[in-house]
Amino acid sequence: MTKTADTLLVNAHILTMDETLNQYRTGAIAISGEKIVAVGNEADIKSEYTAKEIIDCGGKILMPGLINAHTHVPMTLLRGLADDLRLDVWLMGYMLPVEREFVSPEFVKLGTSLACAEQIRSGITTFNDMYYFEEDVAKATVQAGMRAVLGQTVMKYPAPDAESFEVSLNKAREFIQGWKNHSLITPAVSPHAPYSCTPEILRATSNLAQEFDVPLHIHISETAYEVETMRKENGIPVVPYIKKHGILEAKVIAAHCVHIDSGEMRTLLHAGAGISHNPSSNLKLASGFAPVQKMLESGLNVGIGTDGPASNNDLDMFEEIRLASFVAKAVSNDPTVVPAVTALLMATRMGAKALHLGDVTGSLEVGKRADIILVDIMPLHNAPRFMRDLNNAYAQLVYASKSTDVTDVMVNGKWLMRSKKLLTLNETDLLEHAQDMAKKIDIFLIEREQSVLSKLIALGGSLEEESFEVQTKVRVSNPGTVSEKIQQPEIEIIRFRHYIEHDAYFSFDDEKQGRLRFREDDFLDEKGNTTNTRSRLTLLGVKREDKVADNVVLSRSRFFAPAIHSLRFYKEYFKPQQEVNIEKDRLRWLIRYKDTEFFVNLDKIIQPAAGHFLEIKSRTWSRTDAEHKAELVNELLELLGQKNAPTVTQDYIEFITTQP
């Protein structure tokens, strides 16, 4: 008595990628609803099953769809925007400014659709994403019919979809609540990376992932610089650091892991973390060579990812699989390392496990979802075909197949591509809309190509300050009072310095460029002798932000960079329209008041002579924290005897240039 399935695929060379690597040279597979109900030799399956739809695969390879273990799909719209640049110039000069200007729900949907089309064409059935507006990524992914783990980004910097991390955390919670238990989408939370998150963010995202039992997707040890900085600042490598802050209590997907040691591998293994190795990205950005062979030997589930198409520049898993094998061989000095079958496993069964989807997809086994691709391995560039050894088929796929050899793709029992024709997406429309977007971005970048910010960033080493600066400034008629009152039990003085500040302010034709400040600090000892000098460049925006409390101004992020060249160099490089010089004598205390650190500056403007001023400042990544600090600033003003002193809301440069 034969059973009935929905679809029967016959006359295929089946690579199951299951635990025993079963192959069926003339095999068949039966699918009902979302699932695989039988897989085996054609004769056996045919005798057991009949189906409404019977498809002859013409001897092609039938195998599980590929798992793209790490990407940022909407960045497809930024492909080829800027290449061959150092990471800081690429990221801060191009990616971040363009993302802030353009990334919206519409941008994200278009980019996701375009990426899904490309991924389906290249045999990917599941991807693991990290981006903004992940709710909209989810909608576009479902429309395309693909399976995905989608992580809503949380980080300390302002994001296109959130001015602060508190907003991102809320978005992540809502996203997870809304999409939990969807048949295609696994919602997740993505603290961007240890260096871009505060310990508080790491803990909160881990708690969120645990609360809903969803994956947590994070970048780990991508560059040597990241690891060095971590060791310098916290005395430990990256994996122990995230463990300390609770990350490993969640189901982690760790992208990159280029610079981790064997102790860190054991820690990740013990935590059940999955890894995504991203060879193209690691090579193109010169991040280094991930210890793939060692990670595999340690027992970790290592998947393979394309990373975002702005650093790859495509979503071609065939290229990544080949590179994963090639690079591992070269780095190990051993051509037998990561053989074809292992590389293909990383992109299928092991990749699914790395995404914590091992029970759902990644191999052709009864009960798993029908995520299936057909690959033609007899085109010109892959002829002839040897069949002596079962490994020949894996070698063909890994060492000579192209993504363009994929002819048919099914996800969750539903066809997304038949004979190279996409069934769920309109390619022509997508290409047209993408090109419109590229034109707008081109225009935006041409306009700002000559901007002061981009030139500052091009110098390298520039950093963005914390988002929020809480600050107050008052005119002081009795400076001695401040110096005296600061010595009281409620205020703990952590550090005190005395220096002369020489500031040169550059301004430009276009006011929107803001002002660039070149500052040299001459540090003085008790006798008034210069002991040390420091200089830095800071770009100050024109627009200052809203008041958060009486007398307290909340300003937005600024860029600064160490100034390693002379004032003359910077004048020639930035070509300012005007230069104004200010010299002041500054007494600067770093204090702690009610468990919060502040800088207190008591300034005497020497050149041009303009009297004494008191500044109280603090920076933070959190708006909630900023509001709390604003209150404390007002208390401090009172403690220092300046409650009624006249407030100055202008910067010194504005104050001085607008004085009569």
Pick from 212, 326, 574, 599 the residue near a second copy by CB under 8 A. 326
Binding residue for a second copy, selected from 52, 232, 381, 527, defined by CB under 8 A: 381
The residue (of 177 and 391) whose beta carbon lies closer to a second copy is: 391
Name the residue nearer to a second copy (CB basis): 82 or 606.
Answer: 82
Backbone angles phi, psi at 412, to 5 degrees: 55, 35
What's the token pair of residue 502?
């020489």
> Is residue 380 a contact residue for a second copy (CB under 8 A)?
yes
Residue list 425-464, contact with a second copy (CB under 8 A): 427, 430-431, 434-435, 437-438, 441-442, 445-446, 449
Binding status of residue 392 toward a second copy by CB under 8 A: yes
Q: Does 488 bind a second copy (CB under 8 A)?
A: no
Q: Does 330 bind a second copy (CB under 8 A)?
A: yes
CB of 405 to a second copy, least distance (A): 9
- Three-class SS of 530-593: EEEEEEEEEEECCCCCCEEECCEEEECCCEEEECCCCHHHHHHHHCCCEEEEEEEEEEEEEEEE
The neighbour count for residue 495, using CB atoms within 10 Å, is 9
Between 199-212 and 165-179, two packed helices, what is the crossing angle to 10 degrees? 10
* Pick 287 or 348: Cβ nearer a second copy: 287
Shortest distance, position 134 Cβ to a second copy, whole Å = 22
Yes or no: say if 361 and 371 are a contact pair by the CB < 8 Å rule. Answer: yes
290 part of the interface to a second copy, by CB under 8 A? no
Region of 26-34, 318-326, 358-366, 630-638 interacting with a second copy (CB under 8 A): 318-326
Using the rule CB under 8 A, which residue among 102, 399, 508, 523 binds a second copy?
Answer: 399
Beta carbon nearer to a second copy, 203 or 284: 284
Restricted to residues 126-155, the positions that interact with a second copy (CB under 8 A) are: none
In angstroms, what is the minimal distance from the CB of 118 to a second copy? 5
Burial of 329 (0-12, 13-18, 19+ CB in 10 A): middle
Among 7, 68, 71, 122, binds a second copy (CB under 8 A): 122
How far is residue 98's CA from residue 438's CA, in Å, rounded to a whole number? Answer: 11
d(CA 517, CA 639): 32
3-class DSSP state for residue 145?
Answer: coil
Tokens of 66: 């590929």
Part in contact with a second copy (CB under 8 A); list of ranges 113-121, 140-148, 511-519, 644-652:
113-121
CB of 519 to a second copy, least distance (A): 29
Compute the CA torsion angle 226, 228, 229, 232 (nearest 10 deg).
160
Q: Could you say whether residue 403 binds a second copy (CB under 8 A)?
A: yes
Measured from the CB of residue 119, what is the shortest distance to a second copy in angstroms? 10
For the chain, give the longest Cα–Cα distance: 102
- Residue 174 or 297 with smaller CB distance to a second copy: 297
* Site stretch for a second copy (CB under 8 A), options 9-17, 423-431, 462-470, 645-653: 423-431
Is residue 396 close enough to count as binding a second copy by CB under 8 A? yes
Q: Quote the CA–CA distance of 124 and 299 in Å, as a whole number.
A: 25
Q: Does 395 bind a second copy (CB under 8 A)?
A: yes
**Owner of token pair 């952590």:** 494
For the CB of residue 403, give the shortest distance to a second copy in the complex, in Å: 7
Q: Helix, strand or coil for residue 219?
A: strand
Answer positive or negative: Cα dihedral of 469, 475, 481, 483.
positive
Determine which helix (DSSP H) or strand (DSSP E) holds 173, and give its type and residue range: helix 165-179
Site for a second copy in 60-79 (CB under 8 A): 76-77, 79
Q: Which stretch binds a second copy (CB under 8 A): 115-123, 496-504, 571-579, 642-650?
A: 115-123
Give the contact letters, 570-589, x = binds to a second copy (CB under 8 A), - = no.
Answer: --------------------
Whether residue 384 has a cis bond before it, omega within 30° of 0: yes
Q: Which is nearer to a second copy, 206 or 312 (CB)?
A: 312
Kindly tell me which of 118 and 166 has the beta carbon lying closer to a second copy.
118
Strand ranges (E), 162-208: 185-191
DSSP-assigned letter for residue 369: B
> Within a 13 Å sphere around the CA of 314, how many CA atoms are in the beta-carbon half?
14
Return the number of the residue (103 or 482) whose C-beta is nearest a second copy: 103
284 makes contact with a second copy (CB under 8 A): yes
CB atoms within 10 A of CB 104: 14
Report in angstroms how near the CB of residue 258 gets to a second copy at its nearest.
10
For 118, residues 6+ apart whose C-beta sits below 8 A from its C-beta are 76, 309, 314, 315
The residue among 160, 159, 138, 163 whose CA lies nearest residue 150 is 138
> Quick one: 337 or 476, whose CB is closer to a second copy?
337
The nearer residue to a second copy, 103 or 172, going by C-beta atoms, is 103
Q: State which of positions 333-352 bind a second copy (CB under 8 A).
A: 333-337, 339-340
Phi-psi region of 572 (alpha: psi -120 to 50; beta: other; left: phi over 0): alpha
Residue 212 backbone dihedrals phi, psi, to 5 degrees: -105, 5
Closest to a second copy by CB, 114 or 374: 114
Among 196, 312, 348, 507, binds a second copy (CB under 8 A): 312
Task: Give the residue with the Cβ less far from a second copy, 304 or 630.
Answer: 304
- Check binding of 117 to a second copy (CB under 8 A): yes
* Candidates 211-219, 305-313, 498-506, 558-566; binding stretch for a second copy (CB under 8 A): 305-313
- We find the least distance from the C-beta atom of residue 444 to a second copy, in angstroms, to be 10
Q: Binding to a second copy by residue 408, rule CB under 8 A?
A: no
List the interface residues with a second copy, window 606-645 (CB under 8 A).
Answer: none
Q: Which is nearer to a second copy, 75 or 209 (CB)?
A: 75
Nearer to a second copy, 239 or 341 (CB): 341
Q: First vs last Cα of the chain: how many Å apart?
A: 101
Among positions 54, 96, 269, 400, the unique one binding a second copy when judged by CB under 8 A: 400
Distance of CA 510 to the CA centre of its chain: 32
Bridge partners of residue 150, in order along the sequence:
129, 187
Shorter beta-carbon distance to a second copy: residue 129 or 316: 316
Q: Which of 632, 478, 620 is nearest to 552 (CA)?
A: 632
Q: Which of residues 589-608 bind a second copy (CB under 8 A)?
A: none
**Number of residues near a second copy (by CB under 8 A):** 76
State whether the Cα torsion 225-230-232-236 is positive or negative: negative
Does the protein bind a second copy through residue 288 (CB under 8 A)? yes
Contact 409, 65 (CB under 8 A): yes
Structure tokens given for 550: 């009486």
